[in-house]
Structure 1
Amino acid sequence: MVIQAVLASFGSLSTTLVGASALPGVSSYVADAGFPTSAFSSYYYSPAQPTQEPQPVIYDPVLNYTFPHNLTDPETIPEENVDDPVLFPPPVANLSASQKRSLVDAVVANVTRIIVETNATESSCARCMNALAAAKPAALYAPELVPETLVSLCKQYALHSNATCEEDFAASTFGAAWTQVLAYADVQGLDGQYMCWSISKSFCAEPTTQPLDTTKLFPKPKPANATVPPPSGKRVKVLHMSDLHLDARYAVGAEANCSSGLCCRTNNFNRASPGEPLLPANAYGGFQCDTPYDLGLAALQAVGPLTGTGKGDDEESLAWTVYTGDLVSHDPQSELSQAYTMYAETSVYGMFKHFLTGPVFAALGNHDTSPENLDSPHNMPGPLGQQQSWNYDHVAGLWLHEGWISPDAARQARTHYGGYSVKTHYGLRIIAFNTDLWYKGNIFNFINSTDADNSGVFSWMISELQSAEDAGERVWIIGHVLSGWDGTNPLPNPTNLFYQIVARYAPHVIANILWGHTHEDHILLYYSHNGTVRDDAHALATAWIGPSVTPLTNLNSGFRLYEVDTGDFQIYNAYTFFSNVSEYDDHVFLPNATASTGPTFQIEYSTRDTYGHAASWSHADPLNATFWHRVTEAMERDANLVSLQNTLQGKRSVLSPNCTDSFCQEAKICYMRSGSVALGSQCRQGYGSVQSAFKP
């Protein structure tokens, strides 16, 4: 049986490609040992051998500023962010310091009474929302005192650990943002339910999708004769990279198997061995670590040979690259800052420019801001609606500086939360948007949550799609946090709205959708009629989730190449490449050690060769939503195909669990057919990720 043979070839982690026909470039690339010093013009620390992560000097062309060495020095990781502004809602009245303190003391007494008193007829959710209502006056009249009060209450009632209470509610981390939410949210309505659910899952159940009125949503009805344009027959190569998560504070020789937090750091240890590391970090990364410079540059060096592209006069160029977000490492918020975020943006985009051909179209991830996850809607009062504009201005300036987007698109990015609409020189329109506006980790989404488009990002997207339809353009939509799968990442109402947008403009306008965030390799599907009938006749669009460069957590490193037709802009093949992280510890670089090679990146699989036979798919047809739905039907007939998908989801990591029982297999198929929270939440839960203890 073909699928059994495929699985057998994957079991040994061999380098043999499944169906190795028509490779885009070489089948494997081995990076040279040592750091490619030509990647940067100068260094604070530049070793001859990879015994310590280099520290390049990063100049920011937008800020006209050179980032100092102590920002990324692994020996000087900050314990608290003291440099960034902390914004509170303006008080509704001017009270004296003693009046503010008296007010807060009274608030604490009221909240304590509500928490302590037992009412048999009152649910824990109602009690929590009543406590929020009692706390709201503090945010309105004495906002600067709220974070310390939240930390105190969190510790007193053991809502989290003491350290987590500080991390979640201190003013310099998320406390000021929580104060804003408390001031402006409807704490006894849907907003309050979300707030209580976020603070503790034992307080309120997660709210479900609300009905959406679509009668006035779109300026025009969907054309009855809407069809996908024919292919041109000309194919171009498009790169999809995601979730690089550069760790500029990575420390070679530090603990790579720490007990908690981000490993390969000087300030994280394994509790069983607080002295000498149990697993010393090598130069290229590990399963519990983010991407050191050596791994990120090895991946970028591998792109040209593996994809058959390069910068030489006689070499083919990438038509374009899509980057679906997350540049910054997974530090706790107390160690992050605006400067550290902008450093990662400047460094990574600079590396893209150095190594990749063609333009790069990037979307912002939830880690590409500070505090992480947070992007406030522009309709918040005064400066609060513009509190992340420093970041939108910065990335727009970098993208413009690198020549990837036009001045008009840069203006859009400054206005639309880092989102923009740009037409490539091949004629495809790419719409990038900031998915923090539907991410559960963004607590600003708990303000006016009854409005599925409180930020306005989707009305802007509709206007761009309508203009594209009127002009006969094809569109790719790119973002970071995926809209569906198991339903655990975004909020339900905005993804329901997005699903209606896809149903309106696919497949004749929207050709493809690209996400990141999970660090894994998978797809999800969108259907007509709100997914009430999910079969090949109703399949409209595919979302491709890009594999991450970072190995965090328990994954291999990877990226993907698409073969795209310039007529219909559909994908006709996809090649996924990976590097086996379990081999990196053969290169443990400690003082006086030497190494002959760096990491190997190799082709993992061709999508068409791996799944095409199972879907009975013609070689001339694109890998569209109909194709992928037929793959899921083949999975229902042959459980081995689900196991194969699970193996590929983790990029063949030796730490990925098997998916061999019927519950897992049923869930995986359901996830693939779920493009919204409403649909994904109907699936059996617990099988969405192949990682253990992963917190994106």
Structure 2
Amino acid sequence: MGHFLLLAVAFLAFPAAAAAAVVPRFSSHKFAFPGPATAFTVPAAFPTTVYESYYVKPGPTNEPQPAVFDPVLNITFPFNLTNPETVPTNGSDPVLYPPALANLTDASAEALVSAAALEILAIIEANNTGLSSNCSKCVAALSVAQMAAQLAPTHLPAAMVSLCKTTGFKTGTVCQNTYGATNFGASWVQILAKADVVGLDGQYICASLSTDFCSQPPLVPVKVKFPKAKPVKPKKSRASGKRVKVLHLSDLHLDTRYMAGSEANCTSSMCCRYSAPGQGVDEAPATYPAPLFGYYKCDSPFYLALAALQSIGPLTGTSVDNPPALSLYTGDLVAHDSQNQRSRAYVEVTEDSVWQMFKAYIGGPIYAALGNHDTSPDNFDVAHAIDDNGPLGQQFSWNYDHVSKLWEHYGWIDGATQAQASVHYAAYSVLHPLGLRVITLNTDLYYRNNPYTFIHAADPDFSGMFSFLVQELQKAEDAGERVWIVGHVLSGWDGSNPMPGGSDMLYQIVDRYSPHVIANVFFGHTHEDQAFVYYKNNGTRRSAEDAIASAWVGPSITPLTNLNSGFRLYEVDTGSFEVFEAYTFYADVSTFNHLNETGAGPTFNFEYSTRAAYGPAAAWPDGAPLNATFWHRVTEAMEKDRTLATLFNTYQGKSSVRSPNCTSDACTAAKICYIRSGSAALGKQCPQGFGSVQGPYTGNNF
């Protein structure tokens, strides 16, 4: 039987897309699949019992529109909120401005803003201003804009839209969708009013607008202050020999407005959406009609989300009645709608829709972190300290309060933890009954696409999030607890996602409390299957002996962009809380357009075992955990045999037929460097252009 299982693993863990280039590797340890099946074909019929009632019932050619009830708000969301034919084009959320420093009349405020706009145009266009570079011009323009933001805040968004159009900075539509008051404009006014525009904040703002204005500022390290020094001889955790299952889901991105049969192969976001008559798109038949279960350029429809959840039990051997010990969700519930199409209510209905699905199919506690799309405005979260916890500092508290009360409602956290999450950006610290402490973070607070992080950029802990993390880790160290850190935006890899200061601060914290306290770190965000390592002394030397912690980046359920749909299961020791096995599962999105012909739903397959795929090449003992040293040894094996990097690349896209090949020395070197980079600063030192498999590689081969 064991020999048969090994043969089965060799077949299933080695997808056809990579078969010509890579020889699979499997360890000699006795392998056992985690569930009763290695493949599960989901029934074609929609599981209607997940929701109590429907505005539009599911059918063989249409997505459902459930009438979603919110147990926290005690409302049923209206149909027009998610109706694919009535997608809004203007935001409906409250618009908040910083208080004006002067009590100007409307006429005076308008005149001031008009004069400021003319001065900014003059700065941009003049060649004899004495400003030596585009960066100095941009900073000078910000100084003028700040004056307008502080004196006449409500009048500034219209001027920003006009300037954007006049200068040709963006198209008219993009200008309106970016700087219009009900989109991101009011937030930008807050940022301009509060930022140190002539200092580091201004450099980040200008670089975010265009690196033709200012280059990305280098890391300015800020040393973290710890309550206690790291113990010289910390107590080591001991494995119990007993293992439990832990489920890791990420980036579902439920598109409640998905329309089957609409154009899936569009050229602008979002695809798989209704187009009204007269807009040109639907006047001819769709070139690629959106399949019922999803497509590579679209977020997850209800059918795909529930197909993935239905497959978890048969593939992992778990159920509501026989649940995983715990489950992790590393963020992003909401679809990639543009800001003019989203609202607080749209975020709330998505949160309700997804958590109800999870409750129906996953037993046990689910510990979740918010993603950058799980808010409105999209990507934005702000430090409470922006106005000493005043109206601006509390402007996202509606979300923290709502989502944490839903977690409490479903029994995943208790009332005290909910109260903590509601005031800590939806982040919390909870002790699982097995003795593991899970600390979740709101990583929007160091995300580079969140412009609020530019305020007080010289203080990466302006939000207090890292102080909270240190406080909880110190308590855990004092109590002899093991900890998992759960977030969304990853701290490392190629360095493209986090702010350098926040990423460096998190690295210092992981360094201080690893490996004796922190057992694992988990992220999402990229939609790809990735891993990377943290080393002692902030990564000054990256060797197997210096590897102290590793991060697992969970594969996404959404196929966006050019990916298959997937999820992961870990086997974890209940003493050390280290991972001893990781199993990844996927569904081939390229087959979804044929499902109507077969009369069945998609098939989710066992993709690979981390130990079986990489362990032999890394000469990794069967009984050793898949820890930071393991992942460093994997990179050493890649240096000797680049086909291992090719295999990693295949799994990175969940065996998608659309992933680019990684067969060059340059790509291999880049992957090795990314895996060894736990911070943005380290990742940016790597060869760029090989970080994501969602499009062709742009890096230079050698």
TM-score (norm 1): 0.95
Secondary structure at the aligned position of 2:393 is classed as helix
Confirm or deny that 1:10 pairs with 2:15: yes
The 1:148–1:488 alpha-carbon spacing in structure 2 relative to 1, beyond 3 Å, is: same
CA–CA distance in structure 2, aligned partners of residues 499 and 12 of structure 1 = 36
How far apart, in 1, do the equivalents of 2:148 and 2:68 lie?
43
Aligned pair count? 678
Equivalent pair of 1:526/1:539 in contact (CA under 8 Å): yes
Tell me which residue corresponds to 2:289: 280
What pairs with 1:242-257 in structure 2 (closer than 5 Å)?
242-257=250-265
In the other structure, the counterpart of 1:437 is 445
For the 8 Å contact 1:17–1:605, the answer to whether it is kept is no
Offset at 1:166? 1.1
* 1:692 positional shift: 2.0
Q: Secondary structure at the match of 1:127?
A: helix
Q: 1:568 to 1:420 in 2, by over 3 A?
A: same
Assess if the C-alpha contact under 8 Å between 2:320 and 2:360 holds in 1: no
CA–CA distance in 2 between the matches of 1:133 and 1:671? 38
Secondary structure at 1:489's aligned position in 2? Answer: coil
Q: Counterpart of 1:84? A: 93
In structure 2, C-alpha distance between the alignment counterparts of 1:486 and 1:325, rounded to whole Å: 20
Distance 2:354 2:99 in 1: 37
Residue 101 of structure 1: aligned partner: 110
Q: Tell me which residue corresponds to 1:370.
A: 376
* Pair 255,189 (structure 1): closer, same or farther in 2 beyond 3 Å: same
Answer yes or no: is the 8 Å Cα contact 2:98–2:392 preserved in 1.
yes
SS of the residue corresponding to residue 155 of structure 2 reads helix
1:21 to partner: Cα distance: 2.5
Q: Does 1:613 align with 2:616?
A: yes
Match of 2:669 among 662, 666, 671: 666
Matched AA of 1:616:
A
Which of 462, 483, 486 does residue 491 from structure 2 map onto?
A: 483
Among 289, 302, 313, the alignment partner of 2:311 is 302
Match of 1:554?
A: 562
* AA matched with 2:505: L
The residue number in structure 1 matching 2:170 is 160
Q: Give the alignment partner of residue 23 of structure 1, picking from 33, 37, 40.
A: 33
Judging changes above 3 Å, is the alpha-carbon distance between structure 1 residues 583 and 271 closer, same or farther for their aligned structure 2 residues? farther
How far is the alpha carbon of 1:39 from its aligned partner? 1.3
| SS of 1:429 mapped into structure 2 | strand
CA distance in 2, matches of 1:91, 1:274: 49
User: For the Cα contact (< 8 Å) 1:227–1:507, is it kept in 2?
Assistant: no
Question: Match for 2:367: what amino acid?
Answer: F
Q: Which residue of 2 aligns with 1:222?
A: 230
Corresponding position: 1:684 with 2:674: no
Deviation of 1:106 (Å): 1.3
Structure-2 separation of matches of 1:146 and 1:411: 37
Distance 1:323 1:8, change over 3 A: closer
- Residue 489 of structure 1 deviates from its aligned partner by 0.5
Unaligned runs of 5+ in 2: 1-6, 698-702
Specify whether residues 394 and 622 from structure 1 end up closer, same or farther in structure 2 by C-alpha distance, changes over 3 A only. same
CA contact (8 A) 2:17 2:655 kept: no
User: Residue 498 of structure 2 aligns to which amino acid in structure 1?
Assistant: P
Residue identity matched to 1:111: I
Q: Is the 8 A contact 2:431 2:438 kept in 1?
A: yes
SS of residue in 2 equivalent to 1:526 = strand
Match of 2:49 among 28, 38, 58: 38
Aligned residues of 2:252 and 2:332 also touching (Cα < 8 A):
yes
**AA in 2 matched with 1:131:** A
The equivalent residue for 1:412 is 420
Q: What is the aligned partner in structure 1 of residue 3 from structure 2? A: none
- Corresponding position of 2:481: 473
CA contact (8 A) 1:513 1:544 kept: yes
Q: Quick one: distance in 2 between partners of 1:484 and 1:687?
A: 14
8 A contact 1:7–1:644 mirrored in 2: no
- The Cα shift of 1:350 comes to 1.1
Structure 1 692/600 Cα, relative in aligned 2: closer, same or farther at 3 Å? Answer: same
User: Post-superposition shift, 1:296?
Assistant: 0.3
Aligned pairs for 1:341-352 within 5 A: 341-352=347-358
Q: By how many angstroms is 1:7 displaced?
A: 11
Aligned Cα root-mean-square deviation (Å): 1.9
Which residue pairs with 1:320 in the alignment?
326
Any conservation in 2 of the 1:33–1:595 contact (CA below 8 Å)?
A: no
Q: 1:6 Cα shift?
A: 8.4
CA contact (8 A) 1:259 1:271 kept: no
Match of 1:424 among 422, 429, 432: 432
Q: Distance in 2 between matches of 1:536 and 1:324?
A: 27
User: 605, 617, 627: which is aligned to 1:602?
Assistant: 605
**AA at the equivalent of 2:490:** L
Question: Do 1:256 and 1:279's aligned partners in 2 also have CA atoms closer than 8 Å?
Answer: yes
User: Could you list the per-position Cα deviations for residues 514-560 of structure 1 after superposition, in whole angstroms to 9, with x for gaps in the alignment?
Assistant: 00000000101100011011000000101000000000000000000
Percent identity of equivalent pairs: 54
3-state SS of 2:42 partner: strand
- Superposed displacement of residue 112, structure 1: 1.2
State how far apart, in whole Å, the 2-side matches of 1:422 and 1:525 are.
25
Alignment partner of 1:647 is 2:650: yes
Q: 1:398 to 1:534 in 2, by over 3 A?
A: same
CA distance in 2, matches of 1:39, 1:13: 37
Structure 2 counterpart of 1:89, which letter? P
Question: Which segment is superposed worse, 661-670 or 559-568?
Answer: 661-670
Aligned residue number for residue 460 of structure 2: 452
Q: TM-score under structure 2 normalisation?
A: 0.94
Q: CA 1:605–1:7 in structure 2 vs 1: closer, same or farther (change >3 Å)?
A: closer
In 2, the alpha carbon distance for the partners of 1:7 and 1:22 equals: 13
C-alpha distance after superposition, 1:375-406 (max 9, x if no partner):
11001222000000000000110000000001
Q: Secondary structure of 1:502's match?
A: helix
Residue segments in structure 1 that go unaligned for 5+ positions in a row: 589-593
- CA-CA distance at 1:213 after TM superposition: 2.8
Alignment of 1:145-224 (within 5 A): 145-214=155-224, 217-224=225-232
Residues in 1 aligned to 2:557 and 2:339: alpha-carbon distance in whole angstroms:
22
